[in-house]
Structure formats: structure tokens, C-alpha cells
Amino acid sequence: MSGPATILVVFGTRPEAIKLFPVIAALKADPRFRVRVCVSGQHRDMLDQVLGIAGIVPDHDLDLMRPDQSLDALTAGLLTGIGGVIDAERPDRVMVQGDTATAMAGALAAYYRKLPVDHVEAGLRSGNIHHPWPEEVNRKVIGTLASLHFAPTAAAAAALRAENVDPARIHVTGNPVIDALHWVTARIAEQPSLAGGLAALEARFAGKRIVGVTSHRRENFGNGLASIAEAIRRIALRDDIAVIFPVHPNPNVRRVMHGALAGDPNVALIEPLDYPHFARLLALCEIMLTDSGGVQEEAPALGKPVLVMRETTERPEGIAAGTARLVGTDAGRIVSEIFTLLDDKAAYEAMARAHNPFGDGQAARRIVEILGDEIRQQA
């Protein structure tokens, strides 16, 4: 290979952008690489917020987001759209992250062209193809196709070996979400106005104990979300508690949450937060209540316990370490777990002080070093 290796980085959602921007920055700083960025627009406004704060200008934007579109229609558009970008760019490698439809379609489009796929955040498994759905299968598909597997933890690496992935292709790097969180926290310390949009809520809820909430998983649509909304309503009955809930734009989420919680004086249903403001919410809250994957990694980095409103998680390291706990979607269970943590100092401290198993903020550097060794061996 003569000249720098061209890496096409493909992503489409806010979590992917957060976890990949430290890697993109590290790749661009290394003369061995030429970086091209393709975004699918699987998320739109939420994605653009991260691109703005990270200073990333995509080379290709497929803009595929449509209201309430089906997974098969989305996947078809992703596969043909990303395939066209690969044909135009003719990269040496394609990098994807995590478990989204964009990541799966990007890996498959690269495979169809016999290009190596680099998978950031590889090896996460829940063991149940319906929880999280469809992310568990997306990960398994990418894991089958990937050339290099950048596993965030030793447990993720072990899951890949159990699937007969060549151990020489698996590298434990940590998760770059911790790199990103350290970066944005430092930026906020230097420039507080980056996260100043929560000042009014901070004043409104002064003296209250804040519970942060995120919820958007497809497997919770319907009864699960209704039960989560009921739990939040009960939690907010206590005068010493306030709930800040950035509501996902999916209408299946908004319809339920606004219908059940709008007007509650102790609940703030707000628009999705850009990354600096979300980091500020993590700093403000005492507990994060979530069905998200990334929050299970981010909140413990700031010493905040995470209650996971799912039956399974592909991040069992957090459960084992004590930073997170599975609570499902039963309203009574959620309320009980929240009150236990808020009322039992020892229980709270046990989770808040547990070691975060997801990284030390050096994942992007490790990923670039491994890629550099890979292209040197191929030269």
C-alpha cells in the first residue's frame, strides 16, 4: 500500500457519533491515514448536535431518516446508500461502531466488496436475540463480518472467542465513550456556557434530588413504556425528588410520556439534549434510570448509579462491577429500587464508588495504534 490508508467511517446515530469522534480525531492526526466520513442520518437533529460540538463535517450524508419508518425500509436504504459511497470512495477499510442498523448495513456493504471491517465496541452480547431488539442480531452480524474487533472489555473479548473469532483479531481497547466524556467534561469546565441551557431547570429544582431518565428501546414500546411512565409518576410524588427526562423524538415514546407526565410539577419533559448538556445532566443527577446502552457506560464514569429498565444487558460488566442494576420495566420494582438508593446511603455509595469497567479514556489512541500495525503488516 502506497500513501496513507483510506478509512471510511460510517455512522448514523448520536451514540455512534459520540463514541467515534475521538477515534476520528485520532485517525486524522495520524499521517498514516486518510479519513472519510459517511453519516446515514438514521438520527437527524440528535446526530447533528454531536457533529457540531465535535467539529466533524461529513463527506457524505445519506439523510435517510423518515418518520416512523420500518426497519426493513431503513436497512434497504442504508445498504444501497452506503454501498454507493464505498464505490465512490474506494476505501481500504470501513469502520463501524456498535449495534445500529447503520453499522450492520455498513459492515455488510463492505463485505459485499471484500473490504475489511473494523468494529468499534465489538463483542457485546446479551444472549437473547430479542433483547435488545434488533441490536443483538446487528452485533452478531457485524461480528461475523469484521476483520478487527475492538472490544471495550475483557468480557466482550471472551464473548467473541466463544463465537470462534480468531483471538489474534480481537483487541481490548476500552470504550471511546469514556474518551468522549472526559473531553466534553473538560470543555464544559473551560466554557460553562456550553451546558448553560439547563440553568433554569437547576434553579427550578434547587434542593431536590434529581433522577435523570432516558428511554427509547423498541422492545419497551407499548406496555413497557406505559409502565415506565407510571413509575416516574410515582417517583415524582415525593417532594424531595425531581425527574429530568430528555424525551426521545420517536412518536411511540413521546405519545406515552407526554400523555402520562405532562404538567407534573416535579417532572421536566424536555427536548433531547446535545452532548454537553447531557454530560451536565449526568453531573447533576444522583441516579440515572435508563434503557439505553451508552448511559450504562457514561454515568459510572461520573460516579452515578444506573438502573437499567431492561430484562437483559449486553453490558454485564457493569452489573458485575456494581455500577448498574437490571430492574426491568415493572413500575413497582423501579420505584422500590430508586427509593432504596436514595434512602439508603450505604446502598448508594456501594454503586457510586464501584469501579467503572468500561475504560480509562485512552481507547481511541489504542485503536489507532492497532490499525497502524495492521496496515504496516499489509504493506
CA triplet 259, 307, 280: central angle to 5 degrees?
80
Residue 93 appears among annotated catalytic residues: no
CA distances from 257 to 151, 218, 320 (A): 35, 15, 31
Instruction: Spot the catalytic one: 16, 61, 118, 135.
Output: 135
- Quick check: 202 and 284 in contact, CB under 8 A? yes
Catalytic residue among 16, 61, 92, 121: 121
* Beta-sheet strands, E only, within the chain: 5-11, 33-39, 60-61, 93-97, 117-120, 148-151, 170-172, 209-214, 241-246, 267-270, 287-290, 306-308, 324-326
**Does the active-site annotation cover 349?**
no
Do the Cβ atoms of 298 and 181 come closer than 8 Å?
Answer: yes
- Report the distance separating Cα 276 and Cα 283, nearest Å: 11
- Per annotation, catalytic residue among 182, 218, 234, 238: 218
Q: Check residue 128 and report its DSSP letter.
A: -
235 to 98, 210, 242: CA distances (angstroms): 32, 11, 8
Q: Among the options 139, 216, 280, 365, which is catalytic?
A: 216
Active site residue 121: yes
Question: How would DSSP label each residue in 90-125?
Answer: --SEEEEETTSHHHHHHHHHHHHTT--EEEET----
Asked about 99 being catalytic, the answer comes back as yes
Q: Which of 93, 139, 248, 310 is catalytic?
A: 248
Q: Are strands 60-61 and 33-39 parallel, antiparallel or unpaired?
A: parallel
The answer to whether 248 is a known catalytic residue is yes
For residues 148 and 165, give the distance between their C-alpha atoms in angstroms, rounded to a whole number.
10
From the list 92, 99, 219, 274, the catalytic residue is 99
> In angstroms, how far is CA 243 from the centroid of its own chain?
21
For residue 103, give every residue at least 6 positions away whose Cβ sits within 8 Å of its Cβ, in sequence order, or none.
10, 11, 16, 96, 97, 119, 138, 142
C-alpha cell at 344: 439508603
218 counts as catalytic: yes
Active site residues: 99, 121, 135, 216, 218, 248
